[in-house]
Amino acid sequence: MEETIIDTTELGESIVKILKTIYDPEIPVDIYELGLIYDVMVNTDYEVKILMTLTSPNCPVAESLPREVEEKVKSIANVKDAEVEITFDPPWSKDLMSEEAKLELGML
């Protein structure tokens, strides 16, 4: 029985697409463009670990947003598991936002 090799780059792109469907409730920009995603790691077992931050430590969605990220990433075909780790090092700042997000928010 031959094992199907899944392209992790392609899987990474699928993960990013999903992340771009998740929005910070206070800012009309997705969490990826906001710069809240610091790293996405996929191991050979197709388990995903996402290192992300929040706009502030007392963010109103501190509980629900990481859970939403995990659930949506787990829904991708071939992803066996997903775990979100929240960090505030380095703390989030507007400098982490994409040009697109800054434009959307009238900051350019």
Predicted pLDDT at 25: 82
Contact indicator for 42, 11 with CB cutoff of 8 Å: yes
Give tens-digit pLDDT for 39-85. 999 998 999 999 999 998 888 888 899 999 999 999 999 999 999 99
Q: Which residue has the higher pLDDT, 22 or 62?
A: 22
Domain residues for 18? Answer: 8-92
Domain holding 81: CATH number?
A: 3.30.300.130
Is 51 domain-assigned?
yes
Burial 14-50 (b: 16+ CB within 10 A, else e): bbeebbeebbbeebebbbbbbbbbbebebeeebebeb
Residue 69 within a domain: yes
Residue 103 lies in a domain: no
Within a domain: residue 18? yes
Domain count, the chain: 1
How far apart are the C-alpha atoms of 8 and 19, rounded to whole Å?
Answer: 16
* Nearby residues of 103 by Cβ (< 8 Å), 6 or more positions away: none
Tell whether 99 is covered by a domain. Answer: no
Q: Is 0.75 surpassed by the pTM of this model?
A: yes
Which one, of 62, 86, 65, 81, lies nearest residue 15 by Cα? 81
